[in-house]
Amino acid sequence: MLLHGFGDTGDMWAPLAVDLARDHTTVVPDLRGMGLSSHPEGGYDKRTQAADVRAVLTRLGLDRAAIVGHDIGTMVAYAYAARYRDSTGKLIVMDAPVPGIPPWDQIVRSPLLWHFDFGGPDMERLVAGRERIYLDRFWNEFAGDPSKIDEATRAHYAALYARPGAMRSAFAQFRSIRQDAADNAAAMATKLTMPVLAIGGEKSFGANEAVVMRNAAVDVTELVVPDSGHWLMEEQPAATIAAVRSFLSRR
């Protein structure tokens, strides 16, 4: 199960999904309110979205799965693993903090993360018709090399985020983070026991991904992808694919 983040949709995983589909059943949804999914009024807390993921797997007749997440998808992936522990074979999280998991209180003070509290009707008006400008900020500021997010990629996602209701739902993903922090702080009382791979981009979250996950899980493997910022699949796809495949292949 491959879970995307903000600024992307499930489309981000295409190279990895093609590789994994050779010998894995591979499921790649668009998260609630993002991409081509519907835009409900609520339910953007990650625990509820974990239930969305569970419903997809159940509908497909799949009980046990490895869960892979990037960015917002990392937050949903952790919530899934915490809620459905016996059904999570392995967990892979990529380049994002997990709300409520230390050192969350220090991480969230970064001025780069002002968008966590950005949203509401007036913010929607500011961004309406300017979705590309807003998204460029993330691709430019969080990339190790912004040129790796090419024009075709930017245009593709900007069009999807300009669809009716898309930015309102995207803002809701972030504005639910305070609730996510409370939910995760409670879940963290019992650490995850499945194997976890914590991947960070060298020029982004780096080794901090493993620092976070060691506070939430007992079996954590750390990996830092060289010469990459936040956008691992766009900046270093071959290295990221190799890391995921290697971890999933371990017995």
Position 53 scores a pLDDT of 98
Full-model pTM? 0.97
Which position has the token pair 């209180």?
105
Tokens representing residue 215 in the block: 């506070």
CB 234 within 8 A of CB 71: no
Position 117 scores a pLDDT of 86
Q: Tell me the domain boundaries of the chain.
A: 2-249
pLDDT (tens digit, 9 = 90+) per residue, 96-117? 999 999 999 999 998 888 898 8
pLDDT (tens digit, 9 = 90+) per residue, 184-219? 999 999 999 999 999 999 999 999 999 999 999 999
Which position has the token pair 């008006």?
125
Question: Torsion angle of alpha carbons 56, 59, 62, 66, nearest 10°?
Answer: 0
Amino acid 102 reads P
CATH level 3 topology of 2-249: Rossmann fold (3.40.50)
CB 174 within 8 A of CB 116: yes
Neighbour order of strands in the sheet with 2-3: 2-3, 65-70, 88-94, 196-201, 220-225
pLDDT (tens digit, 9 = 90+) per residue, 3-42? 999 999 999 999 999 999 999 999 999 999 999 999 999 9
| 71 closest CA partner among 10, 27, 117 | 10
pLDDT (tens digit, 9 = 90+) per residue, 212-250? 999 999 999 999 999 999 999 999 999 999 999 999 999
Position 114 scores a pLDDT of 87
CB 47 within 8 A of CB 79: yes
90/64 Cα distance (integer angstroms): 9
| Backbone φ and ψ of 83, nearest 5° | -85, -30
17/24 Cα distance (integer angstroms): 9
Position 131 scores a pLDDT of 98
Position 251 scores a pLDDT of 82
